[in-house]
Amino acid sequence: MEILEQIDSLVWGPAMILLLLGSHLYLTIRTRFIQRKLPSAIRMSLINDTSESAGKGDISHFGALATALAATVGTGSIVGVATAILSGGPGAIFWMWITGIFGIATKYTEVFIAIKYRVIDAHGTMLGGAMYAWDRAFKKDGKTPWYAKFFAIVFSIFAAIAALGIGNAVQSNAMTGIITAHSGIPAWIAGLIIAALAAVVVIGGVKSISRVCEFLVPIMAVGYALGCFIILAMNAEFIIPAFQEIILCAFTPRAAFGGAVGSGIMVALQYGCARGLFSNESGLGSSAIIAAAAQTKNPAQQALVAMTGAFWSTVVICLLTGIVIVSTLLAHPDAVSYVAGHPTLSGTDLANLAFQHVPFVGAPILALGIIAFSFSTILGWYYYGNRAAAYLFGSKGIRVYQVLYVLATFFGAVGVGNVVWTISDITNALMAIPNIIVTLLLSGIVARETKHYVYQHHMDEESNDPIPTITSVQS
């Protein structure tokens, strides 16, 4: 276990943060600060048109976005924020927010590439993602170079494993913990219920998943946000001091809450960036897989819609969670004393402590938020793992992966060990390497076509990119 933890620290260390954050900044420049198109992108994301005039694809703009958000807005949006505060201090919230802002450009670029190089399988289903970009973008004389095939396979392997762990077992474990604590239902019964519900949805395929996510995501996100606003109204006098604490701790080496939680500029930067990158998934290449199934006239349309996901998950949801926790700690010195007296406190413990200090509404908001976010993440990440398994093993591998996924849901619910979390955390990080490489290599094409579609106002123009039909997954 110690070796795995060392590997985890290495892959999520300064090199990975520099790679991802540096890519965010570089792609922001290459796309001419595509973030300025966020208002129009949000308007586009609300369109749920599934007619032929919407373009080629299997699901609507909103369906693809909702499924991606379902996978992205998970326990990381609550527990991940608390972990960042506990380890890096309140200043980590500022750096999480910064990664969300600049990560928008990376999200746009990787989705643009996924749609440009997507394919259709023998059943008429749209497929895309980093593996297909590697397969198609570097072909010469009809053959994919060995290095491109290698990176495509590596990305798919890590995606399939990460989906079973962080996207599934860890989420069902979080749900079971909340359900058991509040109802007394045994973990194995809760696990059976969660696994059965997940099975019903995932067996129905991408359209079933997107329909559930279209319904669930707006309700859970708006409900959680309203709950946070209620808490902030109760903590009204501490909101401005909370913002001041966040900004000061991000840029000055001060002891946060009297040294009860992490402090220091570099520590805040490291944990804020790591948790921010984990929460919005920009650069991991995961959400590009579902975006490739969207109905769109050209890559820029869905890329703009998809980039709003980084905004909602990190810039809005994570920021709200952070302000709630910091303002509550400021409002309740006894909570700070408790944190100071328990150095082994986890991010989950800190989140529970902060929300439970808000009478009547705090505990229910936390419980319902974790249950809804975790279940939606299980659904969204299933699609990612499914597509990765299909790329590796063909359509015959899908049914096997479905069985493995449902089993992982149950076993995660009854007790997932730290080993599972650590292994899947490692594979989650390693997904980013082949994805970021192909994203950077193809960023020039994205920049050129973005200029045409977005900045020269050809957003309704049909793309002439070919969408080949493949007879076998790795053909």
Contact by Cβ (8 Å): 82, 347? yes
DSSP bridge partners of 59: 294
Tens digits of residue pLDDT in 382-436: 989 999 999 998 878 888 999 999 999 998 888 765 566 677 778 877 888 999 9
Tens digits of residue pLDDT in 335-391: 878 777 777 777 777 887 788 877 778 888 888 888 888 888 898 889 899 999 999
Angle at 163 between CA 21 and CA 219, to 5 degrees: 85
For residue 203, what pLDDT is reported?
Answer: 79
Neighbours of 279 (CB within 10 A): 28
> At residue 157, does pLDDT exceed 80?
yes
Domains, the chain, with CATH or none = 54-455 (1.20.1740.10)
Angle at 312 between CA 311 and CA 316, to 5 degrees: 95
For residue 302, what pLDDT is reported?
Answer: 92
475 band by pLDDT with thresholds 50, 70 and 90:
very low
Q: How many CA atoms lie within 13 A of 179 on its CB side?
A: 22
The model carries a pTM of 0.89
